[in-house]
Amino acid sequence: MIINTEDKFSRSAKSMKRSAIREILKLLSNPDMISFAGGLPSPQTFPVEEVKEIANYILDKEGEQALQYGTTEGDALLREMLLQRHNEQGLKIGPENLAISTGSQQALDILAKILIDPNDYIICGLPSYLGGLSAFNVYGARLKGIPLDEQGMRMDKLEQAVKELTNSGKKIKFIYVIPDFQNPAGITMPESRRSEILAIAEKYNLLILEDSPYREIRFEGEPQKMIYELDNSGRVITLFTFSKIFAPGFRVAWLIGNPVIIDKFIMAKQSADVCSPVLLQKIAAEYIKRGSLDKNLVNTIELYRNKRDYMLECFGKYMPENVKWTRPEGGLFLFITIPEDIDVDMIFNKAVENNVAFVKGSVFHCDDSGKNTIRINFSYSDMNDIKEGVKRLSGVIRTCIDKQ
């Protein structure tokens, strides 16, 4: 008799859902498809030849160590390089404040594991990063979404929600924010808004999980202080990754935070993967040490700025007048808002028929709202595909609006 596996899965496994974005990326197998869907960096930014040279250098210099197990908290030189980098940026942190993870998605998963009990509440933006929401859901969290304005999470709505949940006896563990070039909305929080979030977290004794994968990809405007830098109470945990600024295939990321939380994170990571890939960590450390990360970032920023500008130009030329979009100061994404009576599901299906893909904005809303929104990635496509893709998408949206 063939076993019935349905009653063998855990409650958390039964609650898992396929990632809407990962599923959409399967459309890329069609060579005619122009994809604005994934958060893919441009392959033009990948330093292939330098990585080859550094890999050979590492294997010649310390091959046995590079191919051996490493420490769970991460390669010593990589951690030293990252600490130096952050301290030069104004943070005051030591080795006890930093750990390496195998991609920032692993960090989100492990932090959810060590912080969330079933039915704990997590505060997040409407919209917010799907990978974070998925990680929190798996561990039984209840998500409370806070609407965004042009400066990020609305403070009146945030305090109201926190007060109501607290007064009704609900346990809130942390506020999840993406302050710089937010995924998916592309919004950047000013320092004043970051300070307000921190003040609310202090008032109600909450942690803040600050997700910062795009911070260094700034096209214009002044960098705002990280919430971590503004905090004096040890309640902020901040995540970083090489995926957007070096190579996503490395799956190397890191987090900084309260030493007690970092120590618990390392304990949990020991049962997850023992250690992150040692060879790749050593390559990343040498890449930073040579100054190549900063040098390549200059080129990456220029490339993405040009792509953003061209996409915005194409939107202005081809999109219907009653369609709105954000103008991000950096990062990889912008957000489109269409009239509320238009069915984005219909737009999506017709867009795929016309060989252009995007991600429906509703998947980034924990309350299933945002049904008139669309996330667009501008970093991956080349200029020709940006123009053609925007023309195709604009035509589909126009047709759907005209049918109403």
* C-beta separation of 122 from 141 below 8 A: yes
* C-beta separation of 388 from 33 below 8 A: no
345 vs 3 pLDDT, higher one: 345
pLDDT at 193: 98
Instruction: Quote the CATH superfamily of domain 6-47+294-403.
Output: Aspartate Aminotransferase, domain 1 (3.90.1150.10)
- In angstroms, how far apart are the furthest CA atoms of the chain? 66
* C-beta separation of 21 from 35 below 8 A: no
* Nearest CA-CA partner of 235 in 190, 266, 200, 191: 200
- For the chain, give every residue range classified as CATH 3.40.640.10: 68-290
Q: What is the pLDDT of residues 284-333, one digit of tens each?
A: 999 999 999 999 999 999 999 999 999 999 999 999 999 999 999 999 99
Assigned CATH for 68-290: 3.40.640.10
- For the chain, give every residue range classified as CATH 3.90.1150.10: 6-47+294-403
Q: Please say if the pLDDT value at position 17 is more than 90.
A: no
Structure tokens given for 287? 């890449």
* Nearest CA-CA partner of 386 in 34, 31, 26, 40: 34
CA dist list (Å): 298 to 27, 131, 178, 227, 303:
31, 28, 22, 25, 9
For 120-148, the DSSP string reads: -EEEEEES--HHHHHHHHHTTPEEEEEEE
pLDDT at 21: 63
pLDDT at 22: 62
Confidence of residue 84 (pLDDT cuts 50, 70, 90): very high
Region at 135 (left for phi over 0; alpha for psi -120 to 50; beta for the rest): alpha
Structure tokens given for 135? 């990680």
Q: How many CA atoms lie within 13 A of 178 on its CB side?
A: 27
Q: What is the pLDDT of residues 150-174, one digit of tens each?
A: 999 999 999 999 999 999 999 999 9
Q: What is the pLDDT of residues 219-267, one digit of tens each?
A: 999 999 999 999 999 999 999 999 999 999 999 999 999 999 999 999 9
Q: Please say if the pLDDT value at position 204 is more than 80.
A: yes
Q: What is the pLDDT of residues 39-52, one digit of tens each?
A: 899 999 999 999 99
Q: What is the pLDDT of residues 100-156, one digit of tens each?
A: 999 999 999 999 999 999 999 999 999 999 999 999 999 999 999 999 999 999 999
The amino acid sitting at 66 is: A
Residue for token digits 């994404």? 333
Q: Please say if the pLDDT value at position 14 is more than 70.
A: no
